[in-house]
Chains A and B, each alone.
Chain A
Amino acid sequence: MTSPRGTGTSLKNFPLFGPITAIVFAFLYVPLLFVIGYSFNSNRIVTVWKGFTFDWYVEVMGNDDIQRAVINSLRIAAISTILSVILATGLAIGLLRMVRVGRTAAWSLIMAPLVIPEIVFAIGTLALFVQIRFTLGVDSITLAHTAFCIPFALLPIRARLRSVDLSIYEAAADLGANEWTIFRRITLPLLAPGIVAGALLAFIISLDDFIVSYFLAGAGGTTLPVYIFGMIRNAITPGVNALSTLLLLASVVIVTISYVIAIRKR
């Protein structure tokens, strides 16, 4: 195959192309293979292989604390995804209609969480919640996650929205559609791929967040990453490997589903 840019020069001719590729992939995937492999290790000492077992999976799935943490994580991720996607969609449409000066300012303010150190955001949010006496727990984490998921959800939605010719909305209005109908029948279907991508991004960002969740967890707000951190504080147990493998499996399934949806849409 020729390269899409039509230069005709194959990337494979680049010196050390093969070794560099191998090193990069090894760096990315060898740790994962370790986690997956040792999750089936029957030895209690993590790094010494003894034999094959499903025991750790049974143990992890039967653990009430882990179940609670998983439920917390999923609930937080689901609600903050829905909220942040709704807000991001509104923001994207709002930004489109703003005058240039206001738009730049608003865009910078909304995108700031991407560059603010997360630890600062976590401390600030904690201070705020304490100040207004908001009980720490699942709800406080959900609110904070919603806030920092907005820019992630907004990026693909806005990219999609900007690719749509503005006269399409005018045509819809011209043909007799009011604002709400335009939103429902034109804007939303056209944005759907962007919204799906944004939701997926927000969901995964929320699901694996540690710092903010750790600061705001309070009593009963333990999420899965926070729980795993607690587990490895003393030693890495085979249970952690099993749990991590399950988490990996879940991510792969989610991404695969969204990929299939995206292909079928085309």
Chain B
Amino acid sequence: MPQEAAPALHVRGVSKSFPTPEGGEVHALDNVSLSVADGSFMVLLGPSGCGKTTLLRCIAGLESPDAGEILLRGERIDGIPVWKRRVNTVFQSYALFPHMTVAQNIAFGLQMDKLPKEEVTHKVQAALSLVRLSDLGARRPNQLSGGQQQRVALARALAKQPEVLLLDEPLSALDLKLRRGMQLELKRLQQETHITFILVTHDQDEAMSMGDEVAVFDSGRIVQVGPPREVYLRPRTRFVADFIGEANILDISVAAGTASAAGIGPIPMDMWSGDAPPLTDAQHFAAVRPEDVTVSPDASGRFTVLDATFIGGDLHAVVDLGTHTLTSRQPAADAAGMCSGDRCEVSFRPGSLRVVEA
């Protein structure tokens, strides 16, 4: 398991602020720590402006952190200039050199390492065949499609055999179909080369399908790190529950050992997930996935269906809880014929509610 190997990269307490044009300050990174296992695929996930790209740029050396340290295989690199770090970056805009051919683009980084000519030629060929572009070495970047340019950018960075490969939203410029193909391609490249990948994305599907581990960012902090399935099943905060997959957030109040959800009423103890943090006498938030909610038609029910949509074999329903709404996703057969305006009751799958931090 790659997770058990020694960390390739260790980020400790890194902070970084930027001045705003108005004279203020933005905390792009706020005391961020992260450990990336050797040979693993780490995804930094978060909405735009959450600091994930800033962390990537700090690791690459394109930004210098205000505080904290960055260790590559146990050695501090945060003071080393960008060109001396054994990490390489695939840029969002690809950043290919327009005045060089594809082969020259890939050779550039190898020439910087002062490798002998034959070795450069050999490695350029190897990198080209790795990304399946062997025939296009003589082309200029502007003669390639977006997907091909993306592969050249990958080949150029991989040819250097970096300790860690950094990818800054590498697929965001590609159309949906191409993106799916490149996701698989990236995964294959990572497994073939055994290089540690750190990929930044705001696309949760991308993060879930590619990452061995996902680090979720929220306003300059990492709020949760773990394997994608783990993060999905056990979100720690309201933000994570909402950002990864869909979630209903319920307001929970506890009085005399009984938990009640606003708009729904008392929640039986067996609805709570077994490994969830214990409830104390205070205000809480609980997250529940739409697929764990069942809406059943009931003429004397307490709630009203606001919207019922049948998508494939599934029913997607939205139920009015008074102050907010509840979304469900369930097999259509359970509630055939339901339409908006109907009365209904809601229930949860036992063990599906989780208390999350605000």
Contact = CB atoms under 8 A, between A and B. Distances in A.
Interface of A: 165, 167-168, 170-178, 181, 185-186, 189-190
B62 interface: yes
12 contacts: A167-B93, A171-B97, A172-B108, A173-B62, A174-B62, A174-B88, A175-B83, A176-B109, A176-B112, A185-B108, A190-B98, A190-B99
B99 A171 contact: no
Interface SS, A side: helix
A100 to B, nearest CB: 8
Interface in B84-125: 84, 88-89, 91-93, 95-99, 108-109, 112-113
B97 A174 contact: no
A176 B88 CA distance: 9
Nearest to B21: A100
The 4 residue pairs across chains A and B that have the minimum distance between CB atoms: A176-B112, A175-B109, A171-B95, A167-B95
Interface residues of B, number: 24
B200 interface: no
A168 B160 CA distance: 17
Interface in B176-192: none
B354 interface: no
Given A170-B95, A173-B62, A174-B157, 14 more contacts: A165-B95, A167-B95, A170-B89, A170-B91, A171-B97, A172-B108, A174-B61, A174-B88, A175-B108, A175-B156, A176-B84, A176-B113, A178-B83, A185-B108
A177 B93 contact: no
Contacts of A177: 83, 108, 112
Given A165-B95, A181-B112, A185-B108, A176 B160 contact: yes
Contacts of B83: 173-178
A18 to B, nearest CB: 40
Nearest to B166: A174
Contacts of A176: 83-84, 109, 112-113, 160
A190 B93 CA distance: 17
Contact of A168 (B81, B97, B112): B97
Given A174-B62, A176-B112, A189 B99 contact: yes
Given A181-B112, A190-B98, A174 B93 contact: no
B353 interface: no
A175 B112 contact: yes
Contacts of A178: 81, 83
Nearest to A189: B99
A259 B61 CA distance: 42
Contact of A167 (B88, B91, B99, B157): B91
B297 to A, nearest CB: 56
A185 B107 CA distance: 13
A123 B232 CA distance: 76
A128 B62 CA distance: 45
Given A175-B156, A177-B108, A165 B93 contact: yes
Q: In the complex, which of the residues A168, A175, A178, A185 has the most CB atoms of chain B within 10 Å of its own CB atom?
A: A175
Contacts of A189: 99
Interface in B146-180: 156-157, 160
A123 B95 CA distance: 49
A164 to B, nearest CB: 8
